[in-house]
Structure 1
Amino acid sequence: MTKKKVAVVMGGYSDEYKVSLKSGQLIYDELSRELYDVFKIYILKEGWFFIDKDENRIPVNKADFSVKLPSGEELKFDACFNIIHGTPGENGILQAYWDAVGMKYTGCNFYQSALTFNKKDTLAVLAKYGIPSAKSVYLRKGDAIDEEQIIAELGLPVFVKPNQSGSSLGISKVKEVSELQKAIEIAFQEDDEILIESFLKGTEVSVGVIDYHGETIVLGITEIVSKNEFFDYDAKYNGASEEITPARLDEETKLKIEVIAKKAYESLGMSGFSRSEYIIMDGTPYMLEMNTNPGFSPASILPQQAKIYGISIQDLCGNEVEKALAK
């Protein structure tokens, strides 16, 4: 049996690329060498590169996503394992390119990626399926901003966040009207569209959902106890939060979240890894966002959940590759 050639594609153009390189390394290390020949591809602002055994960078031919090796041999892949967080791997750009050049890849397709990367549009679609979210005000760069009206509508505190950005970059919690303008400026540095959301006081949970052997399963529910004001970049990646898996929830609430998380995944036509964030307030889970390429470094939530669920990282990643190859 000829082994399939799998490229683990990592990096990206946003500040999340460092996290993606860690996620990609874990997947690269864990994929079965009995089943696959595994290669590393970096997609970075400065270029697209194949990384050889000596960490040399060889450019990728964007015409067909192949690599010309120094030996003169042409390296072509059977599938790409997409583990880029943020743009271009989590917002549909890379998926649309791969579709155009006829490359198979893991995870959801370009439409689901583009949709879920847009918080406003995701929540609007899911509202039609009865999935609740916080009240919010949407602003584009250049819009007139009536601070008094925003606060009258949403109350205080509020969260100000970029509409399209990952890893909690550019998010602020605003407790006083005087802080709003600064928070808006910070969010606009990450994106031309922002959301201002009402504050939901409750328990924050992160829910891993995947399609595994043809079935949508909830991998686990993790309770997030942030030492900071909220689950920001520092809390996510620098240890300023406690992540408790499984979350400390009663059976009824746990079932309610599992039902909503599965419904959200299936309603959006998702595939591959996903992690959605909810705040549970008075027993009701309110959705914050859906991540289609969540962190997958050893410290990340999804691998922790898989371990507790009893699925090895190798099986979890192998399942993704097999689905991509069968497309």
Structure 2
Amino acid sequence: MQLPTPRGPLTASLFERLRRPPHPFVPFGPAPAGEPAVEDDDLQLALFVCYELHYRGFEEVDEEWEWEPSLLAARKTLERRFEDGLARAVPRPSPVPGVPTRRALAELIAADDGPCLSAFLARRADLEQFREFVTHRSIYHLKEADPHTWGIPRLSGAPKAALVEIQADEYGGGRAERMHSELFRATMRGLDLDDSYGAYLDRVPAITLAISNAMSLFGLHRRHLGALLGHLAAFEMTSSAPNHRYSLGLRRLGGDETARRFYDEHVQADAVHEQIAAHDMCGGFVRQHPSRAGEVLYGAACALTLDRLFAEHVMGHWRRGTSSLRETELMAGSR
């Protein structure tokens, strides 16, 4: 993957430095007044690139940058802005004594009132809108499960076993062609989209990057372990029905079985994962660490809120008859 196009002073400075050999990095200055952090293209892209150094990296960036202390210090400044932005955007749920974690998560999800993007995709979206949706989701789905896997070595006992069980399914049970990221690549190819990793990084807006960045933030910091587990639980508990609708929509638009397999797989797998994540993983974690129940619920609330903001962004553009993607250039890699 190549470094993307800068979107402002943060990314311009960051990318210029990353193209050079590792050297002491001057910390970023104070955050300018402006739009909320989750909608700040410059901030979200800068943070995404910093996190990506812990995944597959960039061709023109020396791998020594990954653990350069001065870059980590600069990244911490970006993370503080993002965490503050999340705190303002996401009301922090308070656990109710005596209410099991599974029930608390279910009630949190039931209270979510965001627009039903999956219903629109099932019944009304045209082919270009469905391709847009898949383009957005490629930022996460081409590395699906990776951010949550950071939690495995930080757990013990039943919660660890539960997370491993979920992740093993996400990675195809040891079969490369069954990995969910590979199934999603097949969906992209079926829609004549470029299935290479990070192909559409320049096209997606801040909110799409924020969804991925929240997972990396929670996954890379042990202090956010409870939030990471709650995030995954919300992800799994809100997956089966929407994926069924995505499959219906893609079939309506002519998508074949191979193109729909990613969604069909999640209908069944996530119905099982929902129970494991809520009861065994999050419930087990809270039983081990009762004082951290609020963290679990906050992670779930972050997942729900960011997904709602994403749906509002996409649906808002479509209602106006405009693209929900950034219009900086033609969709690179489309066939």
State the TM-score bracket (shorter-chain normalisation): under 0.3
Q: Which protein has the bigger helix share?
A: 2
What's the TM-score once normalised by structure 2's chain length? Answer: 0.26
What's the TM-score once normalised by structure 1's chain length? Answer: 0.27
Q: Which protein has the bigger strand share?
A: 1
